Amino acid sequence: DLHPALVLAAQVDFASGDDQAVIDRLLPVSDSLPGYTASQLLLGRSAERLGDIPLAYSAFRAVATRNPLALKRTGELHPRALEIVSNRLQEALRQGEVVRAEEQLSRLREWAPSETMTLEGIRAVAVARGDLRAELAATQELSSRRPEDPGLLERRAELELSVGDPGKGLQLVQELAARHPGDAQWAERLDSAKFRWRLTQLPRSVQEVAAKLELTKADFALLLYWLVPDVRNSRPTAGRIASDVLDHPYREEIVRVANLGLLEIDPTLHRFFPSAPVRRSVALRTLTRMVSRFDKKVSCPGETCEAAAQCRLVLPEEECRPSEALSGSDGVELIRRSLKLLGGA
């Protein structure tokens, strides 16, 4: 177990051309003594001869401040090592192996924390994780480096409106819409951005719910109450009480929405289940019901995905995705489209 003896034995393996034996013998030494120059130089060279550039780079990098040769090889291998690790990260994501992708990302963060390739890796993993805030942070930095990249700017605008600075998001959408005068899709995006910005004038609790990745029934009731004037100002048609919302912070909003018949209370158990997740099917059913209730002239027959599509709550280029959870951003957009049908957005 004497480290110098292991290095000496590895030197014999190296002289014999058995690079895999060198690596097998020296990896434990490298883990125990990362600053052991003789071990890391030999490990790096054998890894290089076998074509394992990331391992070679890692070994040389560990002693680069102590040895001129290690410093030279670190600089020479740096671009290729980053490229290989980045490719491994992307391949892991393509295969749905997010944990393996994060392992590769940790290398990029250690080796090149400020390089564009690392930021792209951070962004890709954030997308796979559904971490909108991490995606926004990476997208902000990338868009500052590539300000003319329209895809980055569009995505940054969406993320700013969802989980960042809605004012900045609106500004970006205005700039992008100005590049596409007369484009109906961009006009729609601009309307959506303006609506999202108006949320900043509402109570903080509403803004926090609108930024959530997954809404509960209580959250959706809160959004309906604060975003739809007809809900807030209409007189309920029923007087049902749900025992599980009496102490809920959104009790007033839940009771109003439920007693307008927009979200159900279990008639047997007399419970609303405020913490239950809202699926898109429930949201679309609620909104088609709401549109039909508040405007008899709008043709929104039934409470199915087809009805939602006919009412343009779901756009032609979109899918209904009824079983998906509803995010705050999606919930706000669906409510905006409902208000537009009612002439209020």
What letter represents residue 92's amino acid?
A: A
* 98-107 contacts, C-beta under 8 A, 24 or more apart: 98/125, 98/128, 98/129, 101/125, 101/128, 107/54, 107/58
* Cα–Cα distance, 98 to 111 (Å, whole number): 20
Whether residue 248 has pLDDT greater than 70: yes
**The pLDDT of residue 299:** 66
Q: What is the pLDDT of residues 139-163, one digit of tens each?
A: 999 999 999 899 999 999 999 998 8
Classify each residue of 171-190 as buried b or exposed e, where b means 16 or more C-beta atoms within 10 Å of its C-beta.
ebbeebbeeeeeeeebeebb
Confidence of residue 79 (pLDDT cuts 50, 70, 90): very high
Q: Among all chains, which residue has been given the structure tokens 């905006």?
A: 336
Instruction: Name the least confident of 86-95, 117-126, 252-261.
Output: 252-261
Average pLDDT, the chain: 93
**The pLDDT of residue 320:** 86
* Across 51-59, average pLDDT: 98
**The pLDDT of residue 345:** 61
**The pLDDT of residue 292:** 86
Confidence of residue 218 (pLDDT cuts 50, 70, 90): very high
Whether residue 42 has pLDDT greater than 90: yes
Whether residue 300 has pLDDT greater than 80: no
* Across 321-338, average pLDDT: 93
Whether residue 38 has pLDDT greater than 90: yes
* Across 3-9, average pLDDT: 97
Q: How far, rounded to the nearest angstrom, does the alpha carbon of residue 20 sit from its chain's CA centroid? A: 40
* Across 161-174, average pLDDT: 92
Whether residue 173 has pLDDT greater than 80: yes
Comparison of pLDDT for 343 and 208, the residue scoring more: 208
